Amino acid sequence: MILIATSIAPGARIAVQVTAVQSWLDMGFAVASLNAPEEIDALQGQFPGVEFIPQLRTGKLEASKPVIYISELLHHLRQSGRQTVGIVNSDIFLPPNRDLMDFAAENSKGGLLFGPRQEVQDFGASEGKMDPFGFDYFFMDATILRIWPESRFCLGMPFWDLWFPLVPIFAGLPAKKLISPVAKHIPHPTQRDDSFFLFNNEFAGAVMPVLGGGETYRNLVAEASTPDALERLAVWLDGLTRTAISHIDRCAEKIELG
C-alpha cells in the first residue's frame, strides 16, 4: 500500500478536501496529514481514515500560517518504512482507477513519478484544462527520499512543486511525468503576498547552480530599491520559472496511464 502525505487545510474549502482525500482512501491509499496541533482537533472528525501527525515546527514565520515544510513531509515518509510513498495536495481529487496504485508503484521505482492537475468546474466533470505551470502529485521510491535537501519550501506555498522534480532530474535519477488527466482540481482564488518573494528567492537559490543566471540575479537584487528595479527583478524571476518548466519538460520522460 502506498502512503500519501499531505496537509489538510482548515477553512472554507473543507468540503472539497473531504471529497478529494476520500477519493484516495477509496482507491486503497494510506493517508497521513501533517498539521499544527491546534488544527487537528478541528479536522480529525471530518476525515475518518486519515492519520493526523502533529507538527510543532511549521512555516508560520515564512507564510503567516502554520503550513508544513516539505522537509517534514519527507521525514515522515522516510520513517514510514513504505517502499512507495507520495505527496499530494489535499484538494486534488483522484477519479476511481483500479490501475493507478500499481502504475504509480511501478513507474516510481528508483525515481519519481509526478504530474499536473486538470482544472475542472466540479469533480464529476469529464473535461478540463491541464495546468501547464505546476504539479500537484508526486510518487517516489523510498530509496531516493534523502536526495531532497532541507529547505524552506512548504506545502501549499509557491515554487516547491517545480523544485521537487528538479532535484532528482539534476541528480540524474529517473523522473517520469504522467500526462494523463488522473488528478482533478477545482480552481479557487489565490493571493500573492510577501511570502511569494521569499519562496521565489528560495527557488532561485536552489536551481540557479544548474540553470544559470546567478550573477544577473544578484545584481538585480542589489538594485531592487525602486519600483522599476523591482519590476525588472519580477520579470527575470518569471523567466527563470519558465526556464525551469521547460527543463522539466525536456528531461522528464512523458508517460500515459492507459
Q: State residue 73's pLDDT score.
A: 99
Over 90: is that where the pLDDT of 224 sits?
no
pLDDT tens track for 50-92 = 999 999 999 999 999 999 999 999 999 999 999 999 999 999 9
- Tell me which residue has cell 484544462: 129
Query: Do residues 178 and 114 make contact, with C-beta atoms less than 8 angstroms apart?
Result: yes
Over 80: is that where the pLDDT of 12 sits?
no
Q: What is the pTM of this model?
A: 0.96
Q: State residue 11's pLDDT score.
A: 86
pLDDT tens track for 172-188 = 999 999 999 999 999 98
Nearest CA-CA partner of 110 in 60, 161, 57, 172: 172
Over 90: is that where the pLDDT of 6 sits?
yes
Angle at 28 between CA 26 and CA 29, to 5 degrees: 105
The pLDDT of 146-171, averaged and rounded, is 98
Query: Do residues 63 and 157 make contact, with C-beta atoms less than 8 angstroms apart?
Result: yes
Q: State residue 195's pLDDT score.
A: 85
- Cell, residue 239: 523567466
Nearest CA-CA partner of 16 in 85, 110, 132, 117: 117
Over 70: is that where the pLDDT of 219 sits?
yes
Q: State residue 194's pLDDT score.
A: 74
Q: Which residue has the higher pLDDT, 226 or 80?
A: 80
- Looking at every residue in the chain, the average pLDDT score rounds to 95
| Residue 236: band (very low, low, confident or very high) from pLDDT cuts 50, 70, 90 | very high
DSSP state of 62: H
Q: State residue 192's pLDDT score.
A: 67
The pLDDT of 96-109, averaged and rounded, is 97
| Residue 18: band (very low, low, confident or very high) from pLDDT cuts 50, 70, 90 | very high
pLDDT above 90 covers a percentage of the chain that reads: 88
DSSP state of 89: -
Query: Do residues 59 and 160 make contact, with C-beta atoms less than 8 angstroms apart?
Result: no
b/e map 200-235, b = 16+ CB within 10 Å: bebbbebbbeebebeeebeebeeebeeeeeeeebee
pLDDT tens track for 151-162 = 999 999 999 999
